[in-house]
C-alpha cells in the first residue's frame, strides 16, 4: 500500500468505533497494516477456508450483506461497519461461518488478524474491543456507556451492606438467654425459629418494652414476646427495597434470609449512617398522601428521580426496579384511599398488575396493566363495589401520569374484574385454543404480580396457568410462532426497518423491533422451565439453569437486553430534557458508529435466538 494513503486511513479510523478509543500510536500502527480491496456488486467474501488468510474488514464505502451457511440473513452492513470479528477466534465453530456479499460497489479495508492480534498483545487493555466473542464486545460497550460502581448504597444488594452479627434462637429459649446473646454479638435483632423454620423476630427495643417495662419473667420462653411472621429480604434484593419495606411497615430491622438460612440483618441505622436517596423519601411522601391531588403533585419528583438514575449511569435493570417500587407505592396508596372512600370490601379480592409493571421493568412510558381477582363467592352487588373501586383507582393513576391502557387491560374493564373461577376458565380456554384474540389476552396476563388484597388468589391462578400449559401440546408452539413473526432490523442503517408514516417516519421503534422480542422469548423460556419470577433476565437465567439455553446464549442475551434497555432509557431522558413527550422511536441518524455497531450485534443475537427457539419449540 502506498505510504501516502496512510494519513487518510488513519484519519478515517480515528473517527469510528472501536478505533476511536485507541491511542493515536496504535491507530497508526493498524493503519499501516491495512490492505485495500474493491468488490463489485455481487462479489463475495468467504470465510473459514483452511489455508485462507483471516482479516477484520472495515467498510469504507458501499454496503455488504451477510448470510449464514443455510442462507439465513445474518446482517446488513454499511459504511464504517466492521465484520470478521468471529474469526479472530481460531477455534470458531463451523456453524458460525458465513459469507458476505457486496450489495453495491464496495471499498474495504482489510486488517490481517495476525497483525491485529500481535498489536493487541502490546496493548492488552484494548483487546476486549476486538474480541471474537460478541458477548465480550457488548460487555465492553456496557462498561463504556454506564457503570454501577459508586452509585450509592441504595442501588447495592442487601448482602453488600447487611450486618453479619445476628442471633438465631429456638422459640423455647428463655428470654434472658436470648438477651445475653444479643448483647454478646452487639446485634439489635434475634431471629426465632422452630424446627429450623423462621417463626418470629425480637429486637433489643422489644426486650425493653415487652419485658423490662412489662415486668415479665426473664425465664419465660422467647416465643411469648416475639413478633410472629416477620418480614424478611433476600440477599440479592436492592437496599432500596429493604428501606422501602421498613418505611411501609414501620419496622427498624429486616433479617436477610435465603430459604430458611439467616445470613444477616439490615437496619435503619445502616441506612441513616451510610446514605440517603430521593426515591426513599418519595415513597414516604406517597405513603402519607391524603388525596389524589397530593399524589399528582409528586409526578415531577418521580420524573426527577428517573432522570437522575439515567444520568447517573445506573443500570437499566436497577432503574426498572426502582421505578416499579414507586409505581407500586402509588397503586397501594390509591387502593387504600379507595377502600376508605367506598367502605370495607364486601368480599376478598386481589389487585394484580401485568406487563412491565409485573416484570419490575417500569420506565417513563409504562402505562397501567392491572386486574382484579374476586372471591368465588362474590355476588352481583359485590361486583358493583369493585367496579366503582377499579374505575376510581384507574382514573386516579391516570391523574398521577400512569396512563390508561390503550388496550383496556385494566381492572375497570368488566371482563378483567371477575371471580377466580372465571379467571381459571378463561386461562384454560386461552391455552387450549390459542387463536389470535385469546393469544393476545393470555400474553398480557402471562405474567402477573400480586399487589394488594388476598395474595393466595394470584398464586392459585398462576399455578393453574402453568398446569394448563403443561397439558397443552400446542400452546408454546403458538406462542413461538407469534414471537418470531416480527424480526429485528438486521438491515438497520441500510435497508432500514422504520416506521412508514406519521410523525415517527424515518425512525426505528426499539420497543417493537428489539426489546419486546426479547421479552416475548423470555416468556416462552420462563413458562417452559417453570420460572416463578417474571423479570425478563430472571426467566432466561432460569432457562439456562434448566439447560434450555447455553451459557454463551445467556450471556449474549444479557448483554443485548442491557444495551437495548439503556438505549431506550437514554432516548427517554433526552426527550424529557428537551421538554418533549418521550417515546420508543430512535433516530438512526443520531447514532455514531459506536451505537450502530453494538445495536447490530444485539439485533443479530435476537435473530439467532428466534431461529433457535423456533427449532426447539415449534411443532407445526
What is the pLDDT of the chain when averaged over all its residues? 84
Segment 558-576 shows an average pLDDT of: 90
Query: Residue 208 — very low, low, confident or very high, per pLDDT cuts 50/70/90?
Result: confident
Q: What is the pLDDT of residues 286-298, one digit of tens each?
A: 988 999 999 998 8
pLDDT of residue 456: 95
In CATH terms, 481-617 corresponds, of 1.25.40, 1.10.246, 1.20.120, 3.30.70, to 1.20.120
Q: Is the pLDDT higher at 342 or at 446?
A: 342
Q: Is the pLDDT higher at 265 or at 377?
A: 377
Distance of CA 21 to the CA centre of its chain: 29
Selection from 144, 124, 148, 149 nearest residue 20 by Cα: 144
pLDDT of residue 586: 85
pLDDT of residue 94: 44
**Can you read off the three cell numbers belonging to residue 158?**
442487601
**278-288 and 239-249 helices cross at what angle (nearest 10)?**
20
Edge-to-edge order in the sheet of strand 167-170: 167-170, 189-194, 197-203, 227-228
Is the whole-model pTM more than 0.85? no
559 and 138 in contact (C-beta within 8 Å)?
yes
pLDDT beyond 70 at 278: no
141 and 563 in contact (C-beta within 8 Å)?
yes
Contacts of 495 (CB under 8 A, 6+ apart): 76
DSSP single-letter state for residue 15: T
Query: Residue 540 — very low, low, confident or very high, per pLDDT cuts 50/70/90?
Result: very high
The string of DSSP codes covering 514-545 is IIHHHHHHHHHHHHHHT-S---HHHHHHHHHH
pLDDT of residue 272: 45
Q: What angle do CA 394, 379, 339 make, to 5 degrees?
A: 40
Contacts of 156 (CB under 8 A, 6+ apart): 238, 239
Q: What is the pLDDT of residues 373-403, one digit of tens each?
A: 999 999 999 999 999 999 999 999 999 999 9
* Segment (H or E) for 418: strand 417-419
Q: In 10 A of CB 564, how many CB atoms?
A: 25
Query: Residue 147 — very low, low, confident or very high, per pLDDT cuts 50/70/90?
Result: very low
Segment 39-49 shows an average pLDDT of: 80
pLDDT of residue 134: 63
Q: What angle do CA 512, 514, 519 make, to 5 degrees?
A: 85
**Can you read off the three cell numbers belonging to residue 192?**
426465632
pLDDT of residue 425: 94
Segment 61-82 shows an average pLDDT of: 82
User: What CATH number should be reported for the domain whose range is 153-274?
Assistant: 3.10.580.10
% of the chain residues with pLDDT over 70: 86
Worst-scoring range by mean pLDDT, 3-7, 11-15, 45-49? 45-49
Alpha-helical segments (H) within 400-535? 420-432, 436-444, 455-471, 475-483, 510, 516-529
pLDDT beyond 60 at 302: yes
Q: Is the pLDDT higher at 367 or at 308?
A: 367
Segment 61-73 shows an average pLDDT of: 82
Topology adopted by domain 3-132: Jelly Rolls (2.60.120)
Alpha-helical segments (H) within 250-277? 268-274
The CA distance from 376 to 167, in Å, is: 44
Query: Residue 334 — very low, low, confident or very high, per pLDDT cuts 50/70/90?
Result: very high
pLDDT beyond 60 at 48: no
Q: What is the pLDDT of residues 90-131, one digit of tens each?
A: 554 444 567 889 989 999 999 998 898 889 888 888 887 887
pLDDT beyond 60 at 426: yes
Pairing of strands 106-112, 253-258: unpaired
pLDDT of residue 597: 80
77-98 core/surface letters (b: 16 or more CB in 10 A; e: else): bbbbbbbbbbbbeeebeeebeb
Checking phi first, is residue 547 left (phi over 0); if not, alpha (psi -120 to 50) or beta? left
Worst-scoring range by mean pLDDT, 273-282, 448-457, 496-505? 496-505
pLDDT of residue 4: 74
Q: What are phi and psi of 256, to 5 degrees?
A: -100, 115
In CATH terms, 316-464 corresponds, of 3.30.460.10, 2.60.120.330, 1.10.101.10, 3.40.50.150, to 3.30.460.10
Segment 4-8 shows an average pLDDT of: 82
Segment 312-334 shows an average pLDDT of: 88
pLDDT of residue 142: 46
The CA distance from 368 to 268, in Å, is: 32
Contacts of 563 (CB under 8 A, 6+ apart): 138, 141, 142, 145, 598, 599, 602
Segment 173-201 shows an average pLDDT of: 87
Q: What is the pLDDT of residues 514-532, one digit of tens each?
A: 999 999 999 999 988 888 8
Segment 210-229 shows an average pLDDT of: 85
Q: What is the pLDDT of residues 151-172, one digit of tens each?
A: 455 567 888 878 887 889 999 9
- In whole angstroms, how far apart are CA 16 and each of 60, 81, 103, 154, 524? 11, 9, 22, 37, 38
Q: Is the pLDDT higher at 267 or at 60?
A: 60
pLDDT of residue 312: 67
The CA distance from 407 to 445, in Å, is: 13
Cell 451477510 belongs to residue: 66
Domain ranges in the chain with CATH number 1.20.120: 481-617
pLDDT beyond 60 at 408: yes
* The CA-based dihedral angle spanning residues 581, 324, 354, 619, taken in that order and rounded to the nearest 10 degrees: 90
Domain ranges in the chain with CATH number 2.60.120.10: 3-132
DSSP single-letter state for residue 390: H
pLDDT of residue 274: 41
Amino acid at each position: 500500500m502506498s505510504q501516502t494513503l496512510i494519513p487518510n486511513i488513519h484519519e478515517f479510523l480515528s473517527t469510528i468505533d472501536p478505533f476511536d478509543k485507541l491511542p493515536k500510536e496504535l491507530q497508526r500502527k493498524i493503519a499501516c497494516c491495512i490492505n485495500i480491496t474493491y468488490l463489485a456488486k455481487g462479489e463475495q467474501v468467504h470465510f473459514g477456508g483452511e489455508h485462507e488468510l483471516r482479516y477484520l474488514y472495515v467498510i469504507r464505502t458501499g454496503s455488504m450483506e451477510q448470510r449464514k451457511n443455510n442462507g439465513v440473513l445474518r446482517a446488513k452492513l454499511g459504511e464504517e461497519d466492521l465484520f470478521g470479528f468471529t474469526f479472530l477466534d481460531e477455534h470458531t465453530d463451523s456453524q458460525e461461518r458465513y459469507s458476505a456479499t457486496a450489495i453495491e460497489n464496495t471499498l474495504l479495508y482489510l486488517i490481517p488478524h495476525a497483525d491485529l492480534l500481535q498489536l493487541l498483545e502490546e496493548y492488552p487493555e484494548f483487546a476486549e474491543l476486538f474480541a471474537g466473542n460478541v458477548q465480550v464486545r457488548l460487555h465492553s460497550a456496557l462498561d463504556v456507556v454506564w457503570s454501577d460502581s459508586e452509585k450509592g448504597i441504595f442501588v447495592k444488594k442487601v448482602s453488600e451492606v447487611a450486618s453479619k452479627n445476628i442471633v438465631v434462637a429456638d422459640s423455647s429459649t428463655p428470654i434472658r438467654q436470648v438477651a445475653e446473646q444479643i448483647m454478646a454479638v452487639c446485634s439489635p435483632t434475634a431471629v426465632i425459629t422452630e424446627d429450623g423454620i423462621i417463626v418470629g423476630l425480637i429486637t433489643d427495643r422489644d426486650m425493653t418494652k415487652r419485658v423490662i417495662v412489662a415486668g415479665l419473667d426473664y425465664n419465660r420462653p422467647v416465643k411469648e414476646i416475639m413478633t410472629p411472621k416477620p418480614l424478611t429480604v433476600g440477599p440479592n434484593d436492592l437496599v432500596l427495597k429493604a428501606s422501602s419495606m421498613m418505611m411501609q411497615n414501620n419496622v427498624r430491622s429486616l433479617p436477610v434470609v435465603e430459604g430458611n438460612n439467616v445470613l444477616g440483618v439490615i437496619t435503619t441505622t445502616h441506612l441513616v449512617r451510610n446514605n440517603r436517596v430521593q426515591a426513599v423519601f418519595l415513597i414516604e411522601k406517597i405513603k402519607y398522601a391524603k388525596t389524589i391531588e397530593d399524589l399528582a403533585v409528586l409526578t415531577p419528583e418521580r420524573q426527577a428521580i428517573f432522570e437522575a438514575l439515567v444520568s447517573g449511569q445506573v443500570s437499566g435493570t436497577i432503574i426498572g426496579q426502582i421505578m416499579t417500587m414507586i409505581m407500586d407505592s402509588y397503586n397501594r396508596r390509591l387502593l387504600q384511599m379507595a377502600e376508605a372512600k367506598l367502605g370495607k370490601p364486601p368480599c376478598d379480592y386481589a389487585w394484580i398488575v401485568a406487563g412491565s409493571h409485573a416484570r419490575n421493568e417500569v420506565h417513563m412510558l409504562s402505562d397501567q396493566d392491572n386486574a382484579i381477582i374476586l372471591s368465588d363467592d362474590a355476588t352481583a352487588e359485590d361486583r358493583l363495589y369493585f367496579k366503582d373501586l377499579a374505575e376510581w383507582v384507574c382514573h386516579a393513576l391516570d391523574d398521577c401520569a400512569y396512563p390508561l391502557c390503550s388496550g383496556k387491560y385494566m381492572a375497570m374493564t368488566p371482563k378483567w374484574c371477575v371471580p377466580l373461577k372465571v379467571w381459571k376458565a378463561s386461562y384454560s380456554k386461552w391455552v387450549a385454543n390459542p387463536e389470535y384474540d385469546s393469544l393476545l389476552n393470555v400474553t398480557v396476563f402471562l405474567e402477573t404480580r400480586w399487589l394488594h388484597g388476598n395474595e393466595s388468589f394470584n398464586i392459585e391462578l398462576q399455578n393453574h396457568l402453568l398446569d394448563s400449559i403443561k397439558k397443552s401440546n400446542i400452546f408454546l408452539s403458538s406462542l413461538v410462532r407469534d414471537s418470531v413473526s416480527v424480526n429485528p432490523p438486521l438491515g438497520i442503517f441500510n435497508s432500514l426497518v422504520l416506521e412508514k408514516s406519521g410523525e415517527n417516519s424515518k425512525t426505528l421503534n426499539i420497543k417493537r423491533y428489539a426489546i419486546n422480542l426479547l421479552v416475548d422469548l423470555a416468556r416462552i423460556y420462563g413458562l417452559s422451565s417453570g420460572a416463578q419470577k417474571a423479570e425478563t433476565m430472571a426467566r432466561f437465567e432460569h432457562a439456562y439453569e434448566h439447560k434450555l439455553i447455553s451459557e454463551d446464549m445467556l450471556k449474549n442475551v444479557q448483554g443485548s437486553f442491557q444495551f437495548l434497555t439503556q438505549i431506550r432509557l437514554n432516548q427517554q431522558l433526552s426527550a424529557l430534557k428537551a421538554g418533549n413527550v418521550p417515546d420508543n422511536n430512535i433516530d438512526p441518524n443520531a447514532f455514531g458508529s459506536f451505537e450502530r455497531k453494538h445495536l447490530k450485534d444485539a439485533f443479530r443475537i435476537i435473530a439467532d435466538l428466534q431461529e433457535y427457539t423456533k427449532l426447539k419449540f415449534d411443532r407445526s
